[in-house]
Amino acid sequence: MPDPRLSSLHPGDSAVIRGISAEEALHHRLMALGFRVGKEIHLIRRAWFRGPLQVRIGTTEVIMRRSDADKIRICPKPV
């Protein structure tokens, strides 16, 4: 079974970041926003038609492309 990705979460779900597989520029940008292995992340909302995702990491809310969210491996948290 492939690793679950941030883009697979549903609104209201939480997960822990397991890894980021992105090109260097995106990886640095995500790190600057607080995306680090072991951090908890919450999906707030998904836009229609494969639009962007709104996520919360710590106290920061970020709108991100779904293609970027596909590069973040997660471990879903049980409800």
Q: What is the CATH number of the domain that holds 21?
A: 2.30.30.90
User: What pLDDT is attached to residue 32?
Assistant: 93
pTM for this predicted structure: 0.89
pLDDT at 58: 92
Inside any domain, residue 1: no
The residue segments making up the domain with residue 36 are 6-76
Q: How many domains does the chain have?
A: 1
Task: Give the pLDDT of residue 27.
Answer: 95
Q: How confident is the model at residue 60 (pLDDT cuts 50, 70, 90)?
A: very high
Residue 65 lies in a domain: yes
Q: Is residue 70 situated within a structural domain?
A: yes
pLDDT reported for residue 37: 95
Q: Is 38 a domain residue?
A: yes
Q: Is the pLDDT of residue 1 over 80?
A: no
Is residue 46 in some structural domain? yes
- Residue 3 belongs to what H/E stretch? none
DSSP 71: T
User: Confidence class of residue 78 from pLDDT cuts 50, 70 and 90?
Assistant: low
Max Cα–Cα distance, the chain, nearest Å: 34
